[in-house]
Structure 1
């Protein structure tokens, strides 16, 4: 998962709801609900590969992982075989590191250029997401509030006890 906001929530929801799925990110690493703390959202490659091996040895068959822009830019996940990439959004952040929004977007794009990638899930409410979806070389599911998104929602109401709205998808 990559994006300015939403990486942790999306990755955690995937890891917590899918069988035999580990988690690596801001909250720590492990097999939910048991997590060990981490120093960074995405650790250096040697530490990361060691943790992925320990998860595999413990019975985890897949991992929901946050991929920070710093990690993508610095090649910390270059040897991770991603099957599915998710893009949440891109807002003004980390410009002290990236310098410009264009360089920030280029760092995020690296996740979608991974050779092992088989599918992508992309927020097309975001202009960078629209570009990613347009340029995608793999099966892509788009989401957002725009009418041409494969998964879209409308009439969203945020309440103290939850969220209510209408979903539209090709699956009904």
Structure 2
């Protein structure tokens, strides 16, 4: 009789313990499914944002890339060369930057920071002297020999608040 009662108690304990473990696993699985679903939604939203941000770039502009290819230019070499040409302008003597129409209003030089090549003719660039900053709209032209000329079209200096 004692053996029967002990066996029933052991079976009840095993059943209860197994049920608790299974319930915990089901809860964990549902939590992870919700997290995966949320992460997939976030991934989709980020992919949409990447697509929107890449719209105004030379990499996302097939016509601009075709323009360079038709001229016989390699875009993988040309695009870094365009950026390097602007960044090399940061090395200058005196107070006047070669392309930026503003002089530094601090002790440091005014320099181009960020560069975004929009297409086969236009570049957006950001400049700063550490305290003041603004943006440039630059036209550029690449000759058949691969020489690059830059022409400042418009610029803006943000006011300090």
| TM-score normalised by L of structure 2 | 0.22
Of structures 1 and 2, the one with the larger relative CO (CA 8 A, separation 6+) is 1
Question: Greater Rg, structure 1 or structure 2?
Answer: 2
Structure (1 or 2) with the greater helix fraction: 2
